[in-house]
Structure 1
């Protein structure tokens, strides 16, 4: 029996999908998340749209603002 490999998902894709998911669960807008994290709203939007590469420092700020561990934003998603 052969197991199927999961499609590769970059850290940037994981972060984007997890940001959208967790932000939705928390029930806040991109603007609210940006304010809580001390970042610009367009930056958060660009992260979610895979248009920017986040620094570890900014991932940490976003995780803290969302009340999750930084690893939750890096976790593999269902895609």
Structure 2
């Protein structure tokens, strides 16, 4: 099956372990395909606010002159973890966000407070609607 276009695609010569069945299909392994689909379909990764949060954390790391390796070492994590977060391949949970914010000399409460409200949240917030 092709990972992005043709649901009838069975891969190269009917081999489902790769996909190079059409001229526009690049060979992609099943594991890579699954990772791409997860990344593109997980709601948090599509949220502009989440992407901006991660971009801000990466910018702060760069501002401090800290490499991904140095941040990972400070947190007791592998550099690849930091890389995957910054590339959008791995989503942070709240505890990881707090740890990273503190490692970057940021107040986690301020980091979270700076995230804009979702449009739906603004519509039902009584303070915003004047109710």
For the aligned pair, the TM-score class normalised by the smaller chain equals 0.7 to 0.9
Q: Please, what TM-score do these two structures have when normalized by structure 1?
A: 0.73
Which of structures 1 and 2 has the larger relative contact order (alpha carbons within 8 angstroms, sep 6+)? 1
State the 1:37 CA deviation.
Answer: 1.6
Larger Rg: 2
State the 1:55 CA deviation.
Answer: 1.0
Q: What is the CA–CA distance in structure 1 between the aligned matches of 2:106 and 2:60, rounded to whole Å?
A: 9
* Structure 2 residue runs without a partner (length 5+): 1-46, 116-131
State the 1:15 CA deviation.
Answer: 2.8
Q: Please, what TM-score do these two structures have when normalized by structure 2?
A: 0.46
Question: How many equivalent residue pairs?
Answer: 68
* Structure 1 residue runs without a partner (length 5+): 1-7
Match of 1:72 among 111, 119, 123: 111
Return structure 1 stretches of 4+ with deviation > 6 angstroms. Answer: none
